[in-house]
Amino acid sequence: MELRERAVRMYRTAEPKPVIRRTAEELGVHHEALRNWIRQAEADVGERNDMLTTEEKEEPAQLRREVRELHRANEVLRTASAFFAAQLDPTRQRPDRGSHGGRRR
């Protein structure tokens, strides 16, 4: 990630703009990788609107994680609700504890 950020910063601050292929060779990365990094950085700062920003790309995965978490939480609440409903059910048979404290002799 550090190489990517440094490479993009190097390209974006250079005047005149260097040839991407040559810059990529100097950095030891494939020129298409550098080109994609530069395009993504431009999208992230609002300089292009033909592609999603990094944040927009990550949003669906984050939402899927949140949905999974909410499903788990709902399942726990459903189970707890059923348990407590059964405990409060007046028709439920309770063990006869009588005067023996629940123990049989």
pLDDT in tens, 3-23: 999 999 999 999 999 999 999
pTM for this predicted structure: 0.64
Residue 99 has pLDDT above 70, yes or no: no
**For residues 45 and 70, what is the distance between their CA atoms, to the nearest angstrom?**
32
| pLDDT-derived band at 92, boundaries 50, 70, 90 | confident
Q: Which pLDDT does position 22 carry in this prediction?
A: 92
Residue 97 has pLDDT above 90, yes or no: no
Q: Which pLDDT does position 2 carry in this prediction?
A: 93
The HSE-up count of residue 53 (CA atoms within 13 Å, CB side) is 10
* Share above pLDDT 70 across residues of the chain, in percent, rounded to a whole number: 89
If you average pLDDT over every residue of the chain, what do you get?
90
Indicate the helix (H) or strand (E) that contains 57: helix 54-88
Q: Which pLDDT does position 37 carry in this prediction?
A: 97
